[in-house]
Each structure stands twice: as structure tokens, then as C-alpha cells.
Amino acid sequence: MSQQFGAFTASELYCPKCKRSQPVREKLLLILPSGELYEFLCTGCGTSLGERTVSGPPLSAAIPKPQKAAKNPPTRRLLR
Ligand SMILES: [Zn+2]
């Protein structure tokens, strides 16, 4: 019962340049509507070792809602 795929985070990946497993650091590449795209960089040489998309509720600031101008409130006539 190992469900590791969902929460998998790579802390080490094999780096072809260093020819060994290297700790990686995540670098935020893009903010997509569906999530955030991270890139794994080798801490030894900086080579990109992979990418990961973190899906989740994006920052509310990332998707500004188109704000329609509020309808003018019905003009009130002054009835006296
Ligand atoms: Zn490396």
C-alpha cells in the first residue's frame, strides 16, 4: 500500500554530468492556470534534471477575474 506518487518530491536525482545522484533544488519556472511548473536543477552543476508540475489552487493573484463594471444602480427619482 504505497501511494507515493502523489506526494513524491525528488530530493535527489541522477545527474548525467556529475555522473552521480545529486541533491536538486526546485526552481519555479512558470505559473500555469492548472498549477506551477518547477524545474529540478542539480546543485552541483546546475543542469536541469527534470520538471514537475504542482497542481493546486493557483494563487488568486495569478488569475485576475475580469471585473465588469458594476451596473449602475437604477436611478432613483426623487419623488416628493
Ligand atoms: Zn550535476
Which is higher by pLDDT, 9 or 11? 11
Q: Is 68's pLDDT higher than 50?
A: yes
The lowest-confidence range among 36-40, 47-51, 56-60 is 56-60
Instruction: Determine the distance separating the centroid of ligand 1 and the alpha carbon of 10, expressed in angstroms.
Output: 14
β partners of residue 20 = 15
Instruction: Determine the distance separating the centroid of ligand 1 and the alpha carbon of 56, expressed in angstroms.
Output: 29
* Calpha distance 71→33 (Å, rounded): 29
Residues 17-39 have a mean pLDDT of: 92
Q: Give the global pTM.
A: 0.55
Q: Where are the domains of the chain?
A: 12-55
On whether the CB atoms of residues 24 and 41 are closer than 8 A, the answer is yes
Q: Determine the Cα angle at 22 with ends 19 and 27, to 5°.
A: 125
The third-level CATH classification (topology) of the domain covering 12-55 is: N-terminal domain of TfIIb (2.20.25)
